[in-house]
Amino acid sequence: MQPTIPFYRKSLICFITGLVGAMTIARIVTRLAFEAGVDPHRTPVPVIAAVPALIVFLTGLIYPFIWQSQGRSSNRQAGSGNPADPAKYAAIRFLLCYSIAIDLAMIGLQKWFGLQAHLHIALLDGPLSGFSGEDLSWAYFGRSPAFFNVIGGLQIAGSLLLVFPRTKLLGVFILLPVMTNICLMNYFYHFYPGELAQAVALLLGLLFLLLEEYGRLRSFFFPPDLKGSDPRPGIPGTLVRLSVGYIPLLLITCFFHLPGKDPAHGKYKVTGLWIDDKPVNLENCGDSVLTTAYLDEGHDCLFEYNSRQRWLIGNYDLDRQAHHLQVIWHYPAHVHDTLVARVTDIPGGLGLDGRMGSAHIRMDWRKQW
């Protein structure tokens, strides 16, 4: 007797297949529209993409009810399970695999042909602080086309494996970590929302295909017959095994210099500057006007004088209890005017009063990050 597929499984696979299929159609057609001269970031998804995508998605929502109704009619006629259920389920599952595969194969091939990781050339000559999260990601990946091509190769190989029954699970294992990483990157680096939605839909489809093999995976990864070859470790053995987590944690928290332990760490904008008790006009673009200060990791201190081409770099020693700051400069090599100052907390930043070389200097710094 052929089994009957429960309605919740019919609804779930149809919904996921409709969602992935709709978004795949929308992405491919939108890309074709872009190549034809339509900018998808300025113009909504063209109607030519939205209409078929909406039809596919609505079909995924409606078809489970039609499928269930057909099954009831067949049951009344045959008096047993519906033999067509498994065949329909397998066909819809193949559509899901195909939708994921063709989308990821397209993306992988775009990487191979240099159609991703593009930035304006002028932007690459700007400071990193001006990059958006998405631009920063493309600048990183674009630095090594070979690395980017390896990711594309994994997407293509996993897609081809996904559409054949015997290699479907292997394709899932290849694509799942790739898509998980893409989802996390899209979310935390604030990519275009449509990219994140597409990645989440593909990840959802892969997770569904993986969980369908739950029984096989559980027996493979957690076999019940390991008592003879791997006896229970007991409490001492368990503590030794857990030490791979708590020993590094103890070493880092006790002996490493953590950024959070230094509240002065950060970037500061100079909001007030007096040299020998004379105020300095901070709007002046001269090379003697200090505009930005950085207290960075490794006790590095950097002063910027209106331009990235005018930097002083040294090592600082800050004693918050004694309210004392000392900076010894090592770049440029000819600068020997050590900064020694008393530090006080002011609203939103720090105040410094001391000497740099032979000059008396006072500064107000406002913390930016």
**Residue 230 binned pLDDT confidence (cut-offs 50, 70, 90):** low
**Residue 42 binned pLDDT confidence (cut-offs 50, 70, 90):** low
How remote is the C-alpha of 18 from its chain's centroid?
26
**Residue 94 confidence (pLDDT) above 90:** yes
- Residue range 83-95: mean pLDDT, rounded: 87
Residue extents of the structural domains in the chain: 7-221, 263-367
- Burial of 296 (C-beta count, 10 Å sphere; 0-12/13-18/19+): middle
State the pLDDT at residue 284. 79
State the pLDDT at residue 127. 72
Higher-pLDDT residue of 34, 178: 178
- Residue range 324-341: mean pLDDT, rounded: 90
- Residue range 98-126: mean pLDDT, rounded: 86
Instruction: Kindly state the percentage of the chain with pLDDT values over 70.
Output: 89
First and final CA of the chain: distance in angstroms?
A: 67
Please say whether the beta carbons of 27 and 103 come within 8 A.
yes
pLDDT, one tens digit per residue, over 46-56 is 677 888 899 99
**Residue 1 confidence (pLDDT) above 50:** no
**Residue 257 confidence (pLDDT) above 80:** no
State the pLDDT at residue 205. 96
* Domain made up of 263-367: CATH architecture: Beta Barrel (2.40)
- Give the list of residues 6+ apart from residue 282 with CB closer than 8 angstroms, or none: 270, 271, 272, 273, 289, 291
Q: What would the two tokens of residue 354 be?
A: 């001391």
pLDDT, one tens digit per residue, over 149-186 is 999 999 999 999 999 999 999 999 999 999 999 999 99
State the pLDDT at residue 76. 57
Distance CA 138, CA 189 (A): 11
Radius of gyration over every alpha carbon of the chain, rounded to an integer in angstroms? 31
State the pLDDT at residue 4. 77
H helix or E strand, kind and range, residue 356: strand 349-356
Average pLDDT score over the chain = 86
Distance CA 209, CA 158 (A): 13
pTM: 0.76
Distance CA 147, CA 150 (A): 5
State the pLDDT at residue 58. 95
- Residue range 307-313: mean pLDDT, rounded: 85
Which residues are registered as beta bridge partners of 316? 327
Q: What would the two tokens of residue 29 be?
A: 């057609």
Closest CA to 312 of 361, 246, 263, 277: 361
Residues shown for the chain: 369
Please say whether the beta carbons of 83 and 115 come within 8 A.
no
Closest CA to 57 of 24, 10, 106, 89: 24
